[in-house]
Amino acid sequence: MPHGQRIAELLLNIGAVKLSVDPPFTWVSGIKSPVYCDNRMLYSHPDARKFVVDAFISRVSALTVPPDVIAGTATAAIGWAALVADRLHLPFVYVRAKAKDHGTKKLIEGDLKPEKHVVLIEDLLSTGGSAVSSVEALRVEGKATVTDVVAIFSYELLEAIEKAQITQVHLHPLSTFSILLDVASAQGRISEEDIETARHFIRDPENWRT
């Protein structure tokens, strides 16, 4: 993961990542987490944005099967996927979180031809729900082949790994929570005691504070 450390540094330096063991952050899912990551902030920093896009290009270009189409998850990864598709000169589509309640009621926006190999771009992998549902939409509605999801950051939760295995898709995070903690520790942003507590979150997100 050659880009992982630098991306972790960028996330910390621009304030896109916040670390707090006590009190923790509460995700929409209700999970209590020692880290909150807002990758959308990267869009506003041209140098960081370029580095992330370059990292995406490098990882997508190294995949076993080259993509015919780049897809993004709505809404946070639409911009990343569009930038990657533009650089690779490939078609771009995005996947809605839920179907439109009017018109064609599509989940997929864009012109996706059947039988294409699609690489899905995701900004963040937590429990993996968004990525997996988008993969399934591309396969069912788009009649596409999807074997790879490339994301900026992963919390490394077992739930996401298990969902990916069931869905038969490979997850390729550019950076991870473990790398982030190593960088935060080296920078003195969080105590070693809190670092160790935070590492328990990866292994047991429900009971890491006990």
What pLDDT shows up at residue 161? 96
- Structure tokens that stand for 20 in this block: 């707090």
**How far apart are alpha carbons 154 and 146 in whole angstroms?**
19
* CA 141 – CA 10 distance, rounded (Å): 36
Q: Given this model, what pLDDT does residue 176 score? A: 97
CB atoms within 10 A of CB 25: 14
The CA–CA distances, whole Å, from 110 to 72, 113, 137, 187, 209 equal: 11, 10, 13, 43, 44
What pLDDT does residue 24 have? 94
Q: CB atoms < 10 A from the CB of 140, how many?
A: 11
**Residues 152 and 52 sit within 8 Å (Cβ to Cβ):** yes
The phi and psi torsions of 10 (rounded to 5 degrees) equal -60, -45
pLDDT value, residue 28: 83
pTM given for the model: 0.94
Do residues 60 and 77 lie in contact, with contact meaning Cβ atoms separated by under 8 Å? no
Domains and CATH numbers, the chain: 4-203 (3.40.50.2020)
Residue 1 is predicted with a pLDDT of: 56
Output the pLDDT for position 142: 97
pLDDT tens for the chain, 210 residues long, are 579 999 999 999 999 999 999 999 998 888 999 999 999 999 999 999 999 999 999 999 999 999 999 999 999 999 999 999 999 999 999 999 988 776 677 999 999 999 999 999 999 999 999 999 999 999 999 999 999 999 999 999 999 999 999 999 999 999 999 999 999 999 999 999 999 999 999 999 988 987
Residue 143: Cβ within 10 Å count: 12
Whole-number Å distance between alpha carbons of 14 and 86:
25
Cα distance between residue 86 and residue 180, in whole Å: 29
